[in-house]
């Protein structure tokens, strides 16, 4: 038997490959410190877990859920958005449930991209934007995220002929992997661009609540007229420590939401009702756990900033997400540095090229591990002379 050509066209998923490499090193008896995947290490809030337990006792929740989410789930999600961002989302036709935002990314592409259509995607970026475009038969056109632009895509550099052929555009702020952020003016620019070229603008807002030092993340629907051209993907994975629960939602343009929901109704049977009940508790419950976790990530961020500075890196504190995007030492590729970290120091960090060609020269570090393990990682780097100036230092 033989796999399809579409599957041959995409690379293996980066985190699956990293885990294989980690396992090989761990099998040698190395205590590997995994600073790779963005999977919160804190427990799901107790009130969310309790809501799930209570919902499990209700036989109604053991049956198929309604397509697009239960009425209660959609109302709670829409109400949260309206409170949080000061917007107006109609739960009747401007929202649909997702089995996590990763699924939403794939399916919105499948719903709107035909073979030959162009998808505008950031580079570096979450790999699913590109791979799902390829699986749909579309053509990815990358928008470089450069440090000089604050890791914001410069929409003015997109060629006119490409813009006119584009069907869909993805932006993601706060950003994975760069931790870049944007203001409302930038989202206004993106909405205007999408309107000019009749493009569906998908704003991936998975990290909206993971913010520090006074920064506040924005919904695209704070921009007047955004519903004409945009949808926005939300997830409970990061802010509520619910990565394994697989639940999120999409909001925005009613036509786009209808198309996404129609495709999903043909390929999945939605989110388990009890998980939706737990998510409702997350929307309506206290925010103490979000604030506690943000304080924890901020503390870890500050440990990492100090550790990298001691080893010769010039690094500024991130304002959002739990990622740090850092240059590799001069004279090394991203892949070489990632291999050096794992083989010499037993530390997993993804190479920047795992997120696109423009990631060359960088690596990503996740703050989803304890302060003590982070400190140990820097001690190992120092022990093995892994410094930013390693090619010029006499250490």
Same domain, 339 and 193: no
34 and 114, same domain (yes or no): no
pLDDT tops 80 at residue 99: yes
Does residue 218 sit in the same domain as residue 359? no
Give the mean pLDDT of 122-133: 97
What DSSP assignment string belongs to 194-263? HHHHT-EEEEE-TTTT-B-TT-----GGGSTTGGGTEEEEEESTTTTT-GGG--EEEEE-HHHHHHHHHH
Spatial distance between the Cα atoms of 292 and 294, rounded to a whole number of angstroms: 5
Taking a C-beta distance cutoff of 8 angstroms, is the pair 329, 363 a contact?
A: no
Q: What is the model's pLDDT at position 169?
A: 99
Question: Quick one: average pLDDT of 83-91?
Answer: 98
User: Environment class of residue 238 by beta-carbon count within 10 Å: exposed (0-12), middle (13-18) or buried (19+)?
Assistant: buried
DSSP sequence for 52-69: HHHHHT-GGGGSPPPTT-
The pLDDT assigned to 395 comes to: 36
Stretch 134-150: mean pLDDT: 97
Using the structure block, give the residue that is written with the tokens 């935002």: 101
Q: What's the rounded Cα separation, in Å, for the pair 112 and 229? A: 13
Based on the domain organization, do 88 and 233 belong to the same domain? yes
Give bridge partners of residue 351 from the DSSP assignment.
Answer: 363
Statement to judge: residues 208 and 275 lie in one domain: yes
Domain end position, chosen among 265, 284, 303: 284
pLDDT at residue number 391: 67
pLDDT of residue 18: 79
Query: 206 and 326, same structural domain?
Result: no
Q: Flag whether 390 is in a domain.
A: no
309 in the same domain as 175? no
| Closest by CA position to 315, among listed 129, 178, 120, 217 | 178
**Is residue 234 in a domain?**
yes
pLDDT on residue 374: 98
pLDDT at 230: 98
Task: Mark whether 12 and 61 lie in a shared domain.
Answer: no
For 11, which DSSP code? P
- The verdict on 314 and 335 lying in the same domain is yes
- Residue 391, domain member (yes or no): no
Confidence of residue 13 (pLDDT cuts 50, 70, 90): confident
Across the range 211-215, mean pLDDT stands at 98
Residue range of the domain that includes 330: 5-43+288-383
Whole-number pLDDT of residue 14: 74
- Write the pLDDT tens digit of every residue in 102-121: 999 999 999 999 999 999 99
Domain assignment of residue 260, yes or no: yes
* CATH number of the CATH domain containing 129: 3.40.640.10
Higher pLDDT, 77 or 13: 77
Q: Which of 253, 284, 315 is the last residue of a domain?
A: 284
**Residue 208 maps to a domain:** yes
Q: Coil, strand or helix: which one is 178?
A: coil
Exposure letters 74-85 (e unless 16+ CB within 10 A, then b)? bbbbbebbbeeb
Q: Which residues contact 395 (CB under 8 A, 6 or more apart)?
A: 385, 387
Shared-domain flag, residues 79 and 64: yes
| Per-residue pLDDT reduced to its tens digit, 235-260 | 999 999 999 999 999 999 999 999 99
For residue 258, being part of any structural domain is answered with yes
Last residue of a domain, one of 257, 284, 311: 284
Per-residue pLDDT at 393 exceeds 60: no
User: Residues of the chain with pLDDT > 70: what percent?
Assistant: 99
DSSP string of 269-336?
A: ----HHHHHHHHHHHHS--HHHHHHHHHHHHHHHHHHHHHHHTT---PPPSBSSEEEEEPPTT--HHH
- At 17 the pLDDT is 79
At 223, give phi and psi (nearest 5°): -90, 130
Q: Specify whether 10 is located in the same domain as 80.
A: no
**293: CATH:** 3.90.1150.10
Same domain, 262 and 277: yes
Q: Is the confidence at residue 394, as pLDDT, over 60?
A: no
Split into its structural domains, the chain has a count of: 2
In a domain, 389, yes or no: no
């Amino acid at each position: 038997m033989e796999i399809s050509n579409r599957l041959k066209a995409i690379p293996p998923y980066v985190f699956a490959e990293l885990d294989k490499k980690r396992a090989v090193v761990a099998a040698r008896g190395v205590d590997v410190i995994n600073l790779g995947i963005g999977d919160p290490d804190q427990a799901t809030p107790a009130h969310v877990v309790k809501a799930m337990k209570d919902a499990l006792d209700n036989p109604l929740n053991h049956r198929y859920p309604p397509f697009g989410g239960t009425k209660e789930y959609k109302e709670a999600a829409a109400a949260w958005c309206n409170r949080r961002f000061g917007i107006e989302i109609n739960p009747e036709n401007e929202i649909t449930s997702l089995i996590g935002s990763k699924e939403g990314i794939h399916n919105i592409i499948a719903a709107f991209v035909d073979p030959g259509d162009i998808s505008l995607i950031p580079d570096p970026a979450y790999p699913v934007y590109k791979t799902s475009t390829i699986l749909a038969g579309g053509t990815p056109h990358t928008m470089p995220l450069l440090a000089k632009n604050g890791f914001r895509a410069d929409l003015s550099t997109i060629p006119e002929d490409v813009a006119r052929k584009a069907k869909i555009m993805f932006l993601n702020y706060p950003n994975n992997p760069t931790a870049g952020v944007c203001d409302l003016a930038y989202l206004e620019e993106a909405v205007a661009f999408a309107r000019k070229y009749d493009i569906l603008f998908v704003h991936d807002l998975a990290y909206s609540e993971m913010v520090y030092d006074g920064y506040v993340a924005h919904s695209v629907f704070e921009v007047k007229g955004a519903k004409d051209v945009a949808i926005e993907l939300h997830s409970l994975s990061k802010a509520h420590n619910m990565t394994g629960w697989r639940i999120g939602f999409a909001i925005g343009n009613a036509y786009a939401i209808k198309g996404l929901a129609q495709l999903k109704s043909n390929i999945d049977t939605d989110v388990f009702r009890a998980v939706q009940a737990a998510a409702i508790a997350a929307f309506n419950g206290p925010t103490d756990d979000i604030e506690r976790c943000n304080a924890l990530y901020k503390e870890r961020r500050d440990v990492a900033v100090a550790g990298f500075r001691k080893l010769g890196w010039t690094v500024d504190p991130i304002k959002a997400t739990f990622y740090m995007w850092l240059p590799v030492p001069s004279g090394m590729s991203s892949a070489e540095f990632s291999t050096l970290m794992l083989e010499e120091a037993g530390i997993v960090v993804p190479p920047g090229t795992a997120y696109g060609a423009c990631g060359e020269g960088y690596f990503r570090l996740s703050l989803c591990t304890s302060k003590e393990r982070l400190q140990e990682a820097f001690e190992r780097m120092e022990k093995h002379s892994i410094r930013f100036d390693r090619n010029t230092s006499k250490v």
